Structure 1
Amino acid sequence: MKNKEHINQQVEATFNTLDAIEEVKVNHFFKHKVLQQLKNQKEEKTSLFAWFTPQFQMATLAFVLLLNASAILYAFSSQKNTSNSSLESFAQEYSLQSETTSLLN
């Protein structure tokens, strides 16, 4: 029984201290200022690829396209000039030029 009375006294003392708490006066812009500071902290984070800006991306894309176009033009221009001579030299080297079909008979 004594234990129960002691617990009730402590509960009553706790409620009395809660009644003694007064309202805190805060500036009405406090919430706005805190939220603004949090937003500023979030914006300060830098990404890993911050150096890869859209301008740099466009320049890289243009360089790659120019490189591919020049490679394709070089490949097709050199193919026309050397295709006939390379076929003839290949046929001569492996003795594929013959007038008869003796190999088939």
Structure 2
Amino acid sequence: MRQMRQSRARSEGGAALLWALTLVTAGPSVAAAPWPFEGVWDCEVGTFTFTGSDYDSGEAPMPIVDIAPEGDTFTLTFEDDYQLSLAMNPDGTMTWFSPVSGDSFLCRRTP
């Protein structure tokens, strides 16, 4: 009987350890919802591509280090502390704005 209890305790302990390791290594099983600005946009001066981690204006992808949502506007921050704002408009367009240059473009999602 004693041997059976020890075996069961080892089995339960092993199962608990396996469960804990699964949680730590698997991470969330459901991906986060995409940001509203993710996708490919025609922004008057070029085609801009946004993902949850990169922005590409056609030159080279720039890693996004922070996304700060405020209502329907999202401020993206990049490695060099450059920022741009993306405002989601009710008609499905997006306004791209650079506070550094003052440039602003109306963007339409590409099919």
TM-score normalised by the chain length of structure 1: 0.32
More helix by proportion, 1 or 2?
1
More strand by proportion, 1 or 2?
2
- Asked which structure has the greater CA Rg, the reply is 1
